[in-house]
Amino acid sequence: MKKVSIINEIDEMLNTYCEGCFVKAQLRKDEGKTAAHRFCISECTVGTQLQFLGQELNKIGTGGK
Q: Indicate whether 63 pLDDT > 70.
A: no
Q: Which residues touch 2 (CB under 8 Å, ≥6 apart)?
A: 60
User: Smallest Cα–Cα separation from 13: which of 45, 61, 43?
Assistant: 45
pLDDT tens digits, 23-53: 999 999 999 999 999 999 999 999 999 999 9
Total number of domains in the chain: 1
Instruction: Specify the DSSP element, H or E, that contains 29.
Output: helix 22-31
pTM: 0.80
CA dihedral 28, 34, 38, 44 (to 10 degrees): 20
CB 10 within 8 A of CB 46: no
Domain that holds residue 51: 3-61
